[in-house]
């Protein structure tokens, strides 16, 4: 029997929705797009790390001794799906500066339509870490699912997928192939158009982040 997929977490916080609306606007500059992506990434990271385990630790405040809590358990690795995933890393690393970072690069073969890996570099100890895989747009879901195939093949057990926007098609594809992977997103939009863009979306996230066309 296959496990039922985890329902996606959609961040409905007013600050997230406000920043996402600014991000979507065609008139937002490259600098503004980067800043908003960084801020939204930090907020998504906050949600994605909600279930990290903690342990008690004794500390001294200037006034007295107390028992605080500190992170315990597995360390984190962020994995960016190239190239647009790199735009999400800065905000995540603001919040978890000690996390390791991996990169996966994939392109779609025009004949077979399969995702072909052209680059993959993960930390040596990735199997001992929980992974947060980042890509701003979950469109068809094929590259996210293919990247997660490879990360699981490296021995990683717990994976969370974080994106700014998702299409229902992408959520369905990723949930079918990796029902154990929690999706965290700011919005599930209407759907994909015939060119594979998420509608209403925000356009090409990589181009808007890096000022290319």
Annotated binding site for 5-phospho-alpha-D-ribose 1-diphosphate: 83, 108, 135-143, 204
Cβ neighbourhood burial of 135 (10 Å; 0-12, 13-18, 19+): buried
Among 79, 106, 198, 209, binds ligand URA (CB under 6 A): 198
Backbone angles phi, psi at 55, to 5 degrees: -135, 155
Please report whether residue 160 would count as binding ligand URA according to CB under 6 A.
no
Q: What is the DSSP letter of 212?
A: -
CA atoms within 13 Å, Cβ hemisphere of 210: 13
| CB 86 within 8 Å of CB 115 | no
Please report whether residue 210 would count as binding ligand URA according to CB under 6 A.
no
Alpha helices (H) along the chain:
14-24, 30-48, 86-95, 142-153, 168-177, 205-210
Whole-number Å distance between alpha carbons of 88 and 183 = 15
Among 108, 123, 204, 210, binds ligand URA (CB under 6 A): 204
Among 139, 151, 156, 166, binds ligand URA (CB under 6 A): 139
Tokens 């916080």 locate to: 13
Determine whether 193 is an active site residue. Answer: no
Q: 201 in the Ramachandran plot: left (φ > 0), alpha (ψ -120 to 50) or beta?
A: left
Determine whether 207 is an active site residue. Answer: yes
Q: Select the span of 8-16, 87-95, 100-108, 196-204 touching ligand URA (CB under 6 A).
A: 196-204
SS3 sequence, 49-69? Answer: CCCCCEEEEEEECCCCEEEEE
Q: Select the span of 47-55, 97-105, 108-116, 195-203 touching ligand URA (CB under 6 A).
A: 195-203
Determine whether 130 is an active site residue. Answer: no
User: Closer to ligand URA at the Cβ: 132 or 165?
Assistant: 165
User: Closer to ligand URA at the Cβ: 5 or 87?
Assistant: 87
Positions at the binding site for uracil: 198, 203-205
Q: Select the span of 33-41, 94-102, 156-164, 192-200 touching ligand URA (CB under 6 A).
A: 192-200
Determine whether 180 is an active site residue. Answer: no
Among 131, 137, 183, 188, binds ligand URA (CB under 6 A): 137
Which are the catalytic amino acids? 108, 112, 204, 207
Binding footprint of ligand URA on the chain (CB under 6 A) = 84, 137, 139, 196-198, 201, 204-206
């Amino acid at each position: 029997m296959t496990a039922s997929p985890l329902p996606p977490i959609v961040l409905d916080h007013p600050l997230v929705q406000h920043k996402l609306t600014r991000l979507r606007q065609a008139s937002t500059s490259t600098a503004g797009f980067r800043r908003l992506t960084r801020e939204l990434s930090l907020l998504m990271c906050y949600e994605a790390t909600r279930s990290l385990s903690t342990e008690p630790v004794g500390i001294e405040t200037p006034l007295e001794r107390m028992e605080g809590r500190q992170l315990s358990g597995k360390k984190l690795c962020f994995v960016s799906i190239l190239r647009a995933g790199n735009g999400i890393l800065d905000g995540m690393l603001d919040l978890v500066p000690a996390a390791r970072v991996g990169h996966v690069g994939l392109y779609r073969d025009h004949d077979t339509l399969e995702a072909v890996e052209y680059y993959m570099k993960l930390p040596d100890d990735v199997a001992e870490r929980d992974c947060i895989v980042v890509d701003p747009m979950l469109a068809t879901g094929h590259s996210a699912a293919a990247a997660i195939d490879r990360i699981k093949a490296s021995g990683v057990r717990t994976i969370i997928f974080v994106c700014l926007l998702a299409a229902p098609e992408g959520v369905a594809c990723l949930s079918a192939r990796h029902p154990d992977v929690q999706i965290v997103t700011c919005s599930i939009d209407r759907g994909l158009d015939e060119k594979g863009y998420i509608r209403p979306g925000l356009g090409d996230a990589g181009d808007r982040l890096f000022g290319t066309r």
